[in-house]
Chains A and B, each alone.
Chain A
Amino acid sequence: MEKIQLNRLKKVLIRAYHSLPYYRKKLEDAGVDVYDIRSLEDLKYLPFTTKDDLRRAYPFGAIAEPMRNIVRIHSSSGTTGTATVVGYTKKDVELWAELMARTLCGCGVTAEDVIQVAFGYGLFTGGLGVHYGAEKLGATVVPTSTGNTLRQIQIMRDFGVSVICCTPSYALYLAEVARENGIDWRTMRLRLGVFGAEPWSEEMRVEIERKLPIRACDIYGLSEVIGPGVAFECEERCGLHISEDHFLPEIIDPATGRVLPPGEVGELVFTTLTKEGTPVIRYRTGDLSALMYEPCKCGRTLVRMKRVASRTDDMLIIRGVNVYPSQIESVLLSFDGVEPHYQIVVKRENYLDLLEVQVEVAPQFFSDEVKVLERLKRQIEERLKAELNIHCEVKLLEPKSLARTEGKAKRVLDLRKKEGMV
């Protein structure tokens, strides 16, 4: 494995150096010669790539191939230039399908299965990523995408769906809607759930398996690295196997950047070894995890990562969508009548994440007319939706009603259950 990794690493570094100007500059600033890599140990001398690097490269600065070789574009949330854009060559799309097939297979999906893909289809990598992998595996794909929950359940029953793929919180919501509508799971073929795109706890797994007649599996991926298909849980469910023949993982101390030994918790960093469209070198995911190199009982020798429970930054993951408080702040500041005092409250209701943005109404803006205030609220919600791609509930507050702090304001109140995560 290490031999394959080193060979691939050398190639990807040379390619990145020659075709990505932002990366060439980074290497030159760091005084690193990409032709001088002797072992995987040398990785630690290479500069990191951050989400900000990729944002600054918007739209196509992180794409290492001419556009005629790019067959697909995906992008993280954000419509105002803060998004990160990744490009896939034909070979990348095939590799992605292969890795996703490996992932689904690892979770226990077979060619006999009917798999319903209830991740969003579109710029988000979840839907299409899983879709092509499931087809590659030979399973029957039902591409429902998100929304219209009752219909999702009807399709599940009518089409004899055996595997559901969605966010874990959506699985619980499905169970809730089915219960309210008197649908009996025993009459259905559903047996397995493949869940990803948001952090979840062991308690949540127990809850899902109690409410749905399935085994719940975790998968991991992120668009900057490839999308879903980076790592998966096998039947042993003790960490996620990383497809390390394509993605070289490291754990670093988020403060110093120093590489941490196996087993220690730190920030997960990936170097893509085979991707052509958007290769990333030492990409800092912001996800906290640990690497386990001991062999797994399942027989796979791929390294395992602990499931991701928290992050190094203030990024929130709301129903699979990445949200930064700063995005919300910039939307609020674009309104005249709104005080820069706000609070973001994340709640889980009916197992779905809800984002509430509480904003103080400036006295000089306040209108006596209810309809003007309601219009303001609606406009803020619309602009937040355009920026974040998810719906937020806006709540107007009286001036000075939010607590003022001397130091760094605590903008985010995350009321979702946290315990039980690694």
Chain B
Amino acid sequence: MKQISVFLENKPGSLYGVLQKLKEWGVNLRALSLADTAEFGVLRFIVENPEAIVAKLKEEQFAATLTEVLAVGVEDRPGGLCDVVEILTRAGISIEYLYAFVSPQGEKAYVVLRVEDLESAKRVLKEKNIPILEELPL
């Protein structure tokens, strides 16, 4: 699954600038995370048709890029995320970052992961019967 990332300066209006454009283009955000450091921020989000959106963002002079991420559904219960992370940890796969949200139906939680070794991660998760999603459910 592809995620869009946008570089943001730490200043008022940075986030607004991007979101305003997405609103203008009628883009619905499926998942979103905003990482910040003392110096700058990185906005990451998942939308439909990411290639077209990232091209439009670049046209608007944003520093935007596409990143291949992994999305999995886990049971919405204590330890659900822990089990997934355990599988990756045992395989020695390090996680760059992740963000998660609960589905509206409340049965599943969805986790978006950026890992160093994407192929190995997919393999070990499949081996343990953790479904890898091709797109995030609405």
Asked if A pairs with B, the answer is yes
Q: Identify the A interface with B (CB < 8 A).
A: 361-363, 365-370, 373-374, 377, 395-401
Any A CB within 8 A of the CB of B32? no
Once the chains are docked, how many angstroms separate the CA of A373 from the CA of B63?
12
Stretch at the interface among B23-31, B38-46, B76-84, B120-128: B38-46
Asked if B44 and A363 make an inter-chain contact with CB atoms under 8 angstroms apart, the answer reads no
- B8 touching A398, Cβ below 8 Å: yes
A368-B65, A398-B8 in contact; A374/B37 too (CB < 8 A)?
yes
> Given A368-B67, A373-B40, are A399 and B96 neighbors across the interface (CB < 8 Å)?
no
Scoring B3, B8, B65 by chain A CB atoms within 10 A of each residue's CB, the highest score goes to B65
A395 to B58, CA, bound (A): 21
Contact A368 B44 (CB under 8 A): yes
Contacts of A365 in B (CB 8 A): 63
In the complex, which residues of chain A have a beta carbon less than 8 angstroms from the beta carbon of B44?
368
The number of inter-chain residue pairs (CB within 8 angstroms) is: 52
Shortest CB-to-CB span from B46 to chain A, Å, is 13
Interface centre among B8, B14, B40, B42 (most CB of A within 10 A): B40
- Cross-interface CB contact of A363 among B8, B9, B40, B63, cutoff 8 Å: B63
Interface residues on B, range: 20 to 34
List, in ascending order, chain A residues with CB within 8 A of B114's CB: 368-369
CA–CA, A395 to B96, complex, Å? 23
Which B residues lie within 8 Å of A367 (CB)? Answer: 65
In contact, B8 and A366 (Cβ under 8 angstroms):
no
Contact of B64 with A363 in the complex, beta carbons under 8 Å: yes
Residues 87-101 of chain B, each 1 if its beta carbon lies under 8 Å from chain A, else 0: 000000000100000
Judged by a CB distance under 8 angstroms, whether B61 is at the interface is: yes
Task: Decide: A368 near B5, CB < 8 A? Known: A398-B14, A398-B62, A400-B61.
Answer: yes
Report the minimal beta-carbon distance from B21 to chain A, rounded to whole angstroms: 13
Pick the residue among B39, B61, B64 that contacts A396 (CB under 8 A). Answer: B39
Q: Which residues of chain B in 1-53 are interfacial with respect to chain A, using CB atoms and an 8 Å cutoff?
A: 3, 5, 7-9, 14, 35, 37, 39-40, 42, 44
**Given known contacts A361-B7, A368-B114, A401-B9, A395 and B39 CB-to-CB distance under 8 angstroms:** yes
With beta carbons under 8 angstroms apart, the residue of A363, A374, A377, A397 that contacts B62 is A363
Partner of B63, one of A369, A395, A399: A399
In angstroms, Cα B42 to Cα A374, docked, is 12
